[in-house]
Amino acid sequence: MEGFYKFLSNNSIFIVTFIVLIVWAGVFFYLNSIDKRIRQIEKENKGERNEK
């Protein structure tokens, strides 16, 4: 554990990388969830049209 902290404080660029990865994952899953919801609405819309 001690060695790990030392490694991070010497190579702080990895912390930056880690934060960037978290941000990217957040953006990705947020977009993905919107995409899914839109797909659902698209399907419902088509279904309604067929009923008419």
Partner 1 sequence: MIWKTFLFLLLCFVSIAGISFPIVENPVHWYQYPMIKGLEENAKIIFFHVPTAWLTVVAFFMSTVYSIQYLRKKNLDDDAKSYTAAQLGIIFCILATVTGAIWAKFAWGSYWSWDPRQTSIFALLLIYGAWFALRSSIESEEKRASLSSVYSIIAFLTVPFFIFIMPRIMLGLHPGAESIEDGKVVQSASPVVDFKMNGNMLLIFFLSLIAFTILYFWMWRVGYKSLIYRDKILKQSSRG
Can you give the binding site for partner 1, defined by CB under 8 A? 11, 13-14, 16-17, 20-21, 24-25, 28, 31-32, 34-35, 38, 41-42, 45
CB 14 within 8 A of CB 8: yes
Counts of helices then strands in the chain (DSSP H, E): 2, 0
Residue that the structure tokens 């991070």 belong to: 8
Comparing CB distances to partner 1, the nearer of 6 and 14 is: 14
Comparing CB distances to partner 1, the nearer of 6 and 29 is: 29
Cβ of residue 28: shortest distance to partner 1, in angstroms? 5
Two tokens, residue 33: 């969830």
